[in-house]
Amino acid sequence: MGAKIAYAVVLSSCLFLFAPPASMPTRFDGDSLKLYPETTRQRPDQPSPCALSDGTEVVVVLMKACQWAVVPVTVENGPLNLPYGARGIGKGRQLDVDANDFPTLARTGLHDPRELEQTQTITGLPVAEITRAGRPEMASGAGFLAADEDILSVLKGDNDLVAKLGLTHPDMARPLFHIWNLMLQEYGQRRFGRNWDAITHVAYNGRKVCFGQVHPTRGFQDSIFNDEIQGAWQINFFRELDESEQAFLKEKYPHLDETRMVELTTRLSHVLMGEMVPYYIMRYGFYEGHTAYRIDPLAVAFIFGLRSLEEIEAAFPGRLPEVLVTHFTSAGSARR
């Protein structure tokens, strides 16, 4: 797919209206808060994430200068801004869901497997064409799908994972949008250049979400769908397991040697993504296939505290190592 001027292609969609989830409490005295770029030496005494009385979503972050900040990260539809000709950086359409192709997704936040079975096109493109573009060395070198996966098998497989966790695709997209919108706040303040390194961690549901390397790529990545979504960033973030979580995994999986245990914990707690993924999740329920840039729903639930490690294990008893690596092939996705 060639480069596109932002918004040149209009995706038929609806606005997914949702209230802040139970994991995101509302603080009614938000008017007294000093928001970023204001900072403080003491950690603000408020939940993170949090929806203020005016609906603004905020997170608490620790800057590398040992200063705390309350940063607005509201998930919303906004402009892309266009500082560099036809291409730019901005929120874009974060609330859009592809209701024409997936009406149940737009209504409930999860796919109806029967709708997926009958899907022949997405955004006007045949599913076979999307699958071809998503394979490695096609639209991108790493690919959006593994070589043995197709777009429908991946949508089905991840929908099943999210449903078993008792969550929805908007639940999953929200914290990822918060991370991206946090970066956009820094970009708006011109606080970073080639590399983004001003923030040590984000406080999120009692967890510390830390950043590894975050930097722009050499160019723009076009979407495999018929939409305006583009990517230009590589974003690494992670959360360390505490002692009780490490002990829990050792108790549940005593047969794993050290190498395999490290692989399991890494897959649960470390993420490498591009900024396209939260838009893909909200719009299509697409987390990418089993490639380097995949965002596994189990990792999102764990890192951001949407589900405890015990709850994740209960959803997939004794199967976490398998669930985190098994490809979503047409023949095998139903085994999930």
Q: What is the pLDDT of residues 57-100, one digit of tens each?
A: 999 999 988 899 999 999 999 887 544 434 457 899 999 999 99
Residue boundaries of the structural domains of the chain = 84-201+211-335
Taking alpha carbons only, the member of 144, 169, 163, 236 closest to residue 18 is 169
**Global pTM value:** 0.89
**Residue 172, pLDDT score:** 98
List the beta bridge partners of residue 127: none
**Residue 142, pLDDT score:** 79
Higher pLDDT, 258 or 213: 258
Q: What is the mean pLDDT of residues 279-295?
A: 95
| Confidence tier at 16 by pLDDT (50, 70, 90) | very low
Using one digit for the tens of pLDDT, what is the confidence trace for 190-215? 555 555 678 899 999 999 999 988 88
Using one digit for the tens of pLDDT, what is the confidence trace for 148-163? 999 999 999 999 999 9
Taking alpha carbons only, the member of 29, 279, 257, 291 closest to residue 174 is 279
**Residue 81, pLDDT score:** 57
Q: In Å, what is the CA distance from 126 to each residue of 28, 96, 99?
A: 48, 21, 17
Taking alpha carbons only, the member of 288, 286, 282 closest to residue 96 is 282
Q: What is the mean pLDDT of residues 170-192?
A: 85
Give the residue carrying structure tokens 């997209």. Answer: 173
